[in-house]
Amino acid sequence: MSDEKSYKEYLVDITTFIFDVDGVLTDGTITVTTDGEMLRTMNIKDGFALKTAIDAGFNLCIISGGSNEGVRKRLAGLGIKDIFLGAHNKIEQLNEYLDQHKVSKSEVLYMGDDIPDYPVMKLVGLPCCPQDAVPEIKGISKYISHKNGGKGAVRDVIEQVLKVQGKWNGNFNAKYD
């Protein structure tokens, strides 16, 4: 047994969520139309969790190597302001974001699924991944969701953090009755 603390002990310190897109917010599948447009599918429950985290005062950032403007439009519509698409050096984007928002790396939960996420995941406080991430990413993750990418993995980690910090259940009945 390792001397390292349980992933649940990290949840209380998280102030910032950073997510990759393809394979995390989507299932990694791209549908290419006859005119070359690349379509992705996102989970509505992940979207609800993202919006809930923003409303609860958490920092939220997207760092993706992909550059689909439809993805930007969807995420911006949820209230995410910091969206880095076409990011080929994710460490550079991470450092820029953390400097701008005065956030410590130890306060960051980053969820990635594939090799481009590896270097940045090694730097943050709580590296996480979906169940269907590649073995190298699973090997450095402090938490592996029981959900696959695009199938609720983002909701899983956000909900856990907000519940531990007492920010998940707010007064939902008053809002949605």
Mean pLDDT over each residue of the chain, to the nearest integer: 93
Which pLDDT tens digit goes with each residue over 148-169? 999 999 999 999 999 999 999 7
Tokens 């590649």 belong to: 134
Q: Which residues pair with 84 in a beta bridge?
A: 63
Query: How many structural domains compose the chain?
Result: 1
pLDDT surpasses 80 at 174 = no
Is residue 43 one of the residues assigned to a domain?
yes
Q: How many CB atoms lie within 10 A of CB 69?
A: 8
Is residue 177 one of the residues assigned to a domain?
no
The rounded distance, in Å, linking the Cα atoms of 101 and 14 is: 14
CATH label of the domain that carries residue 98: 3.40.50.1000
Q: Which strand (E) or helix (H) includes residue 60?
A: strand 59-63
Which pLDDT tens digit goes with each residue over 75-115? 999 999 999 999 989 999 999 999 999 999 999 999 999 99
The rounded distance, in Å, linking the Cα atoms of 137 and 12 is: 23
